[in-house]
């Protein structure tokens, strides 16, 4: 046999199987069942129910004298051990009481089948019953003996039925295997009688021998074993290897503590990923809502452009500013709530040990750099100054700051203060401040909240809104324009485009910042649950790795055992 031939390949596969099975205590015990390098004669097992004539067939094939036949036929039936008989360079293995259909017996039969190279399936002209038929098909199909079997229909002379009718019935029962497996009618006793009955004439003897089918059977057995040990055995061993690997897969069925651990780990992983998904969903939804509100606010500003001088009136501008802050504040509140809900769900399942998420401080798109624009309207300047102060003052002084803004001269500043006090968005800004200054103790699990940061965040939102509003105040050269109408339309479009762009950037920034915030928290959660999930995760990982190796080897063995036909 050359390198890479089936015998070399199966030897390599068995060696690899040994390594894989030895790698874990669960499967280590199976290495003993692996097929061994074996150059002994091919083994053909006789598989069939009690009293089908297996012993008689062996006697006939071996041409035993009458005295020996009796010993063989009478003594053997009740024995439970497989008995080997040398015949014609191969070994016939008599498996007692098999294919009975009885579950325990067929389990014994299947074990007996393991390790043989070919099968002589023995049934009789009385025809196999349902259970026996099932067992035959299993041997041919699942056990892989379809191309290494003969089906013997013994006791043909005992039945009065038409020979062809009986054989047709057998073929029907064999279904798809009828064309693949030779079916040989025999009468072993006729053969033995003919050989041992001194009263028979030579002619009678010849007729009986020819009719007995034993010579045809011998020829068929020679044919299926013709490729020799090197041709037949690797296939048989590849099958046997597949069966051992199937057993190994079963050994990896987790139970007891291992199963509990694996399930605990899986459950925790699922809980975490559920929490994560819920927050991601909220994040995607809310960032899109914020973006859409920014676009709408932009539309409002554009519609508000004065036909007279191209300016957005201060009251509209302050309202739009409020809407922007409102959109961002609502986003913060809802995103925060979704994280908190996810946290609460995990606490409900895993208790107080679950780490609380950091307070959500939304620093998305901080606009500081764009604030120092050279041209400023009174409106813009007033709000900018207010925002800068907001960033500096401490939480306790938020109300003072707002009062101060209101008391400062100038209509724009008064408008801002007015808006902060009266509009929903303004209330929200104030409310956020109130929570920080008054509610620290009550704000669990947000006890970690950093008041200063929250104020900075609020101020940051104001700053951001003002930066967004910048183009509203840029009215250079509009009044001088000859074609006022066109200029105003163009200006409206510029504002819409500007807000659309801001909306888009906000959505991306909010999503990115939200995801970062979430993933930091999730990492902490995973860490805190590690003691709970670690053992199960380890077992599952070992199991998956082992199963993967087993499966890949099984695929390889299967290629050898069942080479693609046609």
Ligand X SMILES: Nc1nc2c(ncn2[C@@H]2O[C@H](COP(=O)(O)OP(=O)(O)O)[C@@H](O)[C@H]2O)c(=O)[nH]1
Write out the residues near ligand X by the rule CB under 6 A.
48, 50-56, 73, 76-77, 154-155, 157-158, 187-189
Q: Which two tokens stand for residue 253?
A: 């069925």
DSSP summary character for residue 358: P
Question: Nearest approach, Cβ of 191 to ligand X (angstroms)?
Answer: 8
Minimum distance from residue 55 beta carbon to Mg ion (Å): 3
Quick one: what does residue 468 bind among ligand X, Mg ion, none, with the CB cut-off 5 to 8 Å set by partner type?
Answer: none
Residue 123: which of ligand X, Mg ion, none does it interact with, CB under 5 to 8 A by kind?
none
230, 192 Cβ separation under 8 angstroms: no
CB of 40 to ligand X, least distance (A): 24
Considering beta carbons, is residue 157 or 271 the nearer one to ligand X? 157
The binding track of 484-523 with respect to Mg ion, each residue x by CB under 5 A or -, is: ----------------------------------------
Least Å from the CB of residue 94 to Mg ion: 6
Beta strands at 90-94 and 43-47: parallel, antiparallel or unpaired? parallel
- Which residues pair with residue 46 across a beta bridge? 94, 120
Q: Which residue lies nearer to ligand X by CB, 91 or 437? A: 91
Given a contact cutoff of 8 angstroms between Cβ atoms, the answer to whether 181 and 120 are in contact is no
**Shorter beta-carbon distance to ligand X: residue 187 or 326:** 187
The answer to whether 330 touches 290, Cβ cutoff 8 Å, is: yes
> Are 326 and 505 a contacting pair, CB within 8 Å?
no
Tell me whether residue 53 or residue 234 sits nearer to ligand X (CB atom).
53
Nearer to ligand X, 7 or 187 (CB): 187
Which among Mg ion, ligand X, none contacts residue 187 (Cβ within 5 to 8 A by kind)?
Answer: ligand X
Question: In whole angstroms, how far apart are CA 202 and each of 57, 60, 217, 554?
Answer: 22, 18, 22, 56
| Residue 96 C-beta: closest distance to Mg ion, Å | 6
Residue nearest to Mg ion (CB): 55
CB of 159 to ligand X, least distance (A): 9
Which CB, 77 or 394, lies closer to Mg ion?
A: 77
Measured from the CB of residue 49, what is the shortest distance to Mg ion in angstroms?
A: 10
463 forms part of the interface with Mg ion (CB under 5 A): no
Q: Name the strands in the sheet holding 118-124, side by side, starting at the edge strand that comes first in the sequence.
A: 83-87, 90-94, 43-47, 118-124, 149-154, 183-185
Give per-residue burial for 186-224: e unless 16+ CB within 10 Å, then b: bbbbbbbbbbbeeeeeeeeeeebbebbbbebbeebbeeb
Asked whether position 55 contacts Mg ion by CB under 5 A, the answer is yes
- Write the CB contacts of 443 (distance below 8 Å, at least 6 apart in sequence): 435, 449
212 is a site residue for Mg ion (CB under 5 A): no
Residue 227 corresponds to which tokens in the numbers above?
A: 């490729």
Closest to ligand X by CB, 188 vs 502, is: 188
Q: Decide: residue 146, CB within 10 A, 0-12 exposed, 13-18 middle, 19+ buried.
A: middle
Instruction: By CB under 5 A, name the binding residues for Mg ion.
Output: 54-55, 76-77
């Amino acid at each position: 046999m050359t390198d890479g031939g089936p015998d070399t390949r199966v030897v390599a596969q068995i060696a690899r199987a040994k390594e894989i099975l030895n790698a874990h205590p669960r499967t280590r015990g199976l290495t003993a069942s692996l097929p061994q390098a074996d150059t002994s004669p091919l083994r053909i097992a006789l598989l069939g129910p009690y009293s089908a004539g297996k012993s008689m067939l062996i006697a006939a094939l071996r041409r035993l004298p009458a005295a020996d036949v009796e010993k063989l036929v009478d003594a053997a039936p009740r024995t439970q051990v497989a008995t080997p008989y040398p015949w014609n360079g191969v070994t016939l293995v008599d498996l007692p009481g098999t294919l009975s259909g009885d579950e325990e017996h067929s389990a014994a039969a299947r074990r007996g089948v393991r390790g043989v190279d070919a099968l002589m399936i023995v049934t009789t002209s009385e025809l196999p019953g349902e259970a026996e038929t099932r067992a035959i098909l299993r041997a041919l199909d699942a056990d892989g003996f379809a191309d290494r079997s003969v089906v013997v229909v013994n006791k043909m002379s005992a039945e009065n039925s038409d020979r062809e009718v009986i054989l047709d019935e057998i073929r029907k029962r064999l279904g798809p295997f009828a064309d693949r497996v030779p079916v040989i009618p025999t009468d072993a006793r006729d053969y033995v009688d003919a050989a041992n009955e001194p009263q028979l004439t030579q002619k009678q003897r010849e007729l009986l021998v020819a009719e007995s089918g034993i010579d045809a059977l011998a020829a068929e057995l020679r044919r299926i074993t013709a490729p020799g040990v090197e041709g037949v055995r690797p296939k048989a061993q590849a099958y046997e290897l597949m069966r051992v690997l199937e057993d190994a897969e079963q050994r990896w069925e987790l139970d007891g503590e291992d199963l509990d651990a694996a399930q605990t780990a899986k459950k925790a992983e699922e809980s975490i990923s559920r929490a994560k998904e819920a927050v991601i969903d909220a994040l995607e939804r809310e960032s899109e809502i914020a973006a859409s509100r920014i676009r709408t606010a932009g539309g409002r500003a554009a519609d508000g452009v004065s036909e007279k001088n191209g300016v957005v009136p201060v009251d509209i501008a302050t309202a739009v500013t409020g809407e922007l802050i409102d959109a961002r504040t609502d986003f913060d509140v809802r995103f925060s709530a979704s994280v908190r809900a996810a946290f609460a769900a995990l606490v409900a399942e895993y208790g107080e040990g679950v780490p609380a998420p950091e307070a959500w401080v939304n620093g998305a798109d901080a606009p500081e750099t764009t604030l120092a624009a050279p041209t400023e309207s009174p409106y813009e300047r007033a709000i900018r100054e207010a925002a800068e102060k907001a960033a500096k003052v401490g939480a306790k002084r938020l109300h003072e700051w707002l009062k101060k803004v209101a008391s400062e001269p100038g209509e724009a500043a008064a408008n801002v203060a007015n808006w902060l006090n009266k509009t929903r968005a303004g209330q929200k800004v104030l409310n956020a401040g109130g929570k920080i200054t008054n509610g620290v103790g009550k704000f669990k699990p947000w006890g970690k909240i950093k008041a200063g940061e929250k104020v900075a965040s609020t101020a940051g939102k104001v700053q951001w809104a003002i930066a967004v509003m910048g183009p509203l105040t840029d009215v250079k050269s509009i009044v001088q324009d000859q074609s006022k109408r066109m200029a105003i339309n163009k200006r409206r479009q510029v504002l819409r485009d500007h807000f659309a762009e801001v909306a888009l950037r906000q959505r991306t920034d909010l999503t990115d910042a939200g995801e970062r915030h979430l993933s930091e928290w999730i990492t902490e959660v995973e860490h805190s649950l590690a003691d709970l999930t670690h053992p199960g995760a380890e077992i599952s990982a070992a199991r998956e790795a082992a199963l993967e190796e087993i499966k890949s080897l099984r695929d390889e063995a299967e290629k050898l055992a069942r080479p693609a036909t046609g």
